[in-house]
């Protein structure tokens, strides 16, 4: 993953903060909240710098943002986004543990909006129980019998 090439391709210069955040998002592979990103960065990065950097990366199309039904904004980056994909893919939100997962190999549904409206973005969040939580729930049921 050539972070400098990704940033320069989007017309951005490489900064330490951009490099660290992008490396984490690409490595993690699933959408992450501000708090999750801060907790996983060993570098000295304050919350304001994180917000500004994510906003810049989002506006340049490298990172995209999705809000779950839990109200938390999460950010993800995928190589496919760099090939012209605006990051429009569905996500899955586990209602038990709160983790969000990308479903990038599926297309977003086509939506027709009335004339005069401009679409600025779209998101689809499917919610339910992830495999880990489903196993945990079934184990708890077995223990309670």
Q: Can you say which residues are annotated as belonging to the binding site for Zn(2+)? A: 94, 97, 130, 133
Which residues line the annotated binding site?
Answer: 94, 97, 130, 133
Q: Which helix (H) or strand (E) holds 131?
A: helix 131-144
Gap between the Cα atoms of 75 and 58, Å rounded? 8
| Contacts of residue 97, Cβ cutoff 8 Å, sequence gap at least 6 | 130, 132, 133
Q: Rounded to the nearest 10 degrees, how much is the dihedral formed by the CA atoms of 75, 80, 82, 87?
A: -40
Instruction: Please give the Cα distance from 59 to 64 (Å, whole number).
Output: 8
Per-residue DSSP letters for 49-98?
A: HHHHHHHHHHHTTSSEEEE-TTS-EEEE--GGGGGT--S---EEEETTT-
Q: Which two tokens stand for residue 15?
A: 């900064």
């Amino acid at each position: 993953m050539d972070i400098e090439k990704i940033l320069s391709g989007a017309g951005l210069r490489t900064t330490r903060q951009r490099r660290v955040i992008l490396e984490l998002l690409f490595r993690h592979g699933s959408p992450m909240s501000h708090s999750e990103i801060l907790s996983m960065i060993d570098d000295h990065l304050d919350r304001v710098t994180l917000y500004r950097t994510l906003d810049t990366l989002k506006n340049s199309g490298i990172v995209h943002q999705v809000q779950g039904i839990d109200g938390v904004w999460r950010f993800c980056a995928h190589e496919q986004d760099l090939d012209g994909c605006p990051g429009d893919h569905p996500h899955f939100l586990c209602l038990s543990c709160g983790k969000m997962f990308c479903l990038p190999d599926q297309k977003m549904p086509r939506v027709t909006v009335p004339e005069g409206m401009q679409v600025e973005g779209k998101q689809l969040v499917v919610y339910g129980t992830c495999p880990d939580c489903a196993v945990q729930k079934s184990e708890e049921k077995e223990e309670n019998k």
